[in-house]
């Protein structure tokens, strides 16, 4: 075979990277802020955080911003791999530019990756499902497969044992109380749940769920409004609560943690499992310390995710997304 058979032109690489960046726009983010920007030049795409979209109160340390951007990076990576593109990824490539989080270079063609294809197919189907889950439990085999996806991204997954779920519930509830009684947080929450439709971001009332009795409380996105979704008949009886965690909380740890978050959520969607990230306990410093005590080893908790099955055939509304031209810059 010709040694140059797998080489691609800059124009081909640019088209592939633009397609991957568009796929990344469906990545989850805290309050659906979508705090990322792409710049594509030839065979290189650069992912940067957008500091103007950081939640100054809820995410004062920028931890969730990095997790969100890591999710966008993983979405782009699996989109490329699913289409058979070889890509080199450099994370945090320039110390002088802390907002520059990753640089992706397309280096050639290869056979499409079937596992990446499964994850990429799940991108358009994935939703945050805030409704209550029913009694059906995840199998050990499913949890093991999801754990392997997370570990492949350099993070770990810990399922909270049933007897420790009440402790988790208290931790989440205490964090939610701290934020609820903070006027600055409530103002920030209101700003991101009452967005004009043209912004293509935020948490619209149609995707929020009415409060109900749960094993672990669900965030009340509209304390003064009317959420569009009923919680449903279940009470999360069969839900699995997992903590995504890593070795530390450096920017690189959190960025990779976001990639692992994306792998978990897409993997679960591919398995037919509903997902709902729970971030309150990592948004407030001292509940985050309590959360560390639930981990089996020394580690830094990134996110809690509720996994399970909904006893309903109702299709969830799609969360809004910004237009590609607002997020992706393509240079000639």
CATH number of 164's domain: 3.40.109.10
Same domain, 187 and 273: yes
Report DSSP letters for 59-85, one per residue. TTTSHHHHHHHHHHHHHHHHHHHHTTE
Residue 315 lies in a domain: no
Verify that 99 and 163 share a domain, yes or no. no
CB half-sphere exposure, 110, CA atoms < 13 A: 12
pLDDT over 70 percentage in the chain: 98
Q: Exposure pattern of 101-111 as b/e (b: 16+ CB <10 Å)?
A: bbbbebebbee
Same domain, yes or no, for 287 and 198? yes
Residue 83 lies in a domain: yes
- The 10s digit of each residue's pLDDT in 25-65 is 999 999 999 999 999 999 999 999 999 999 999 999 999 99
Same structural domain, 88 and 173:
no
User: Closest Cα to residue 104, out of 31, 24, 175, 194?
Assistant: 24
Domain match, 267 and 147 both: yes
Q: What tens digit of pLDDT does each residue of 128-150 get? A: 999 999 999 999 999 999 999 99
- The tens place of each residue's pLDDT in the chain, 332 residues long, gives 344 446 889 999 999 999 999 999 999 999 999 999 999 999 999 999 999 999 999 999 999 999 999 999 999 999 999 999 999 999 999 999 999 999 999 999 999 999 999 999 999 999 999 999 999 999 999 999 999 999 999 999 999 999 999 999 999 999 999 999 999 999 999 999 999 999 999 999 999 998 888 999 999 998 877 888 888 887 899 999 999 999 999 999 999 999 999 999 999 999 999 999 999 999 999 999 999 999 998 899 999 999 999 988 888 999 999 999 999 999 97
- Answer whether residue 100 is part of any domain: yes
Q: What percent of the chain has pLDDT over 90?
A: 89
Residue 236 lies in a domain: yes
- In angstroms, the Cα distances linking 63 to 101, 142, 245, 248, 271 are 13, 28, 13, 12, 28
Angle at Cα 30 formed by Cα 120 and Cα 274, nearest 5°?
50
d(CA 29, CA 214): 23
- What is the domain count for the chain? 2
Question: 79, 19 in Cβ contact below 8 A?
Answer: yes
Structure tokens at 124: 């358009």
Q: Which domain holds residue 73?
A: 10-125+322-331
Distance of alpha carbon 124 from the chain centroid: 14
pTM: 0.96
């Amino acid at each position: 075979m010709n040694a140059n058979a797998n080489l691609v032109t800059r124009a081909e690489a640019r088209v592939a990277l633009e397609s991957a960046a568009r796929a990344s726009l469906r990545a989850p983010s805290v309050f659906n802020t979508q705090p990322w920007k792409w710049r594509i030049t030839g065979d290189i795409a650069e992912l940067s955080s957008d500091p103007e979209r950081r939640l100054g109160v809820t995410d004062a340390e920028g931890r969730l911003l990095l997790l969100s951007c890591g999710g966008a990076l993983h979405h782009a990576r699996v989109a490329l791999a699913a289409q058979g593109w070889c890509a080199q990824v450099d994370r945090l490539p320039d110390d002088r530019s802390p907002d520059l989080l990753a640089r992706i270079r397309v280096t050639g063609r290869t056979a499409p990756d079937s596992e990446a294809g499964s994850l990429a197919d799940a991108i358009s189907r994935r939703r945050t499902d805030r409704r209550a889950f029913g009694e059906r439990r995840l199998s050990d085999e499913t949890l093991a497969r999801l754990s392997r996806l997370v570990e492949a991204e350099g993070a770990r997954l810990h399922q909270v044992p049933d007897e420790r779920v009440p402790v988790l519930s208290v931790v989440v509830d205490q964090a939610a109380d701290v934020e609820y009684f903070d006027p600055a947080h409530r103002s920030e929450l209101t700003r991101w749940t009452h967005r004009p439709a043209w912004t293509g971001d935020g948490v619209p009332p149609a995707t929020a769920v009415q409060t109900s009795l749960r094993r672990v409380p669900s965030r009340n996105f509209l304390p003064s409004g009317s959420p569009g979704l009923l919680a449903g008949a279940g009470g999360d009886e069969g839900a699995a609560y997992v903590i995504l965690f890593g070795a530390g909380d450096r920017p690189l740890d959190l960025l990779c943690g976001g990639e692992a978050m994306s792998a978990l959520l897409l993997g679960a969607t591919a398995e037919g499992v509903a997902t709902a990230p729970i971030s309150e306990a990592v948004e407030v410093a001292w509940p985050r310390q309590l959360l560390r005590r639930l981990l089996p080893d020394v580690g830094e908790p990134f996110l809690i995710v509720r996994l399970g099955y909904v006893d309903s055939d109702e299709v969830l509304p799609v969360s809004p997304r910004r237009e590609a031209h607002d997020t992706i810059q393509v240079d000639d």
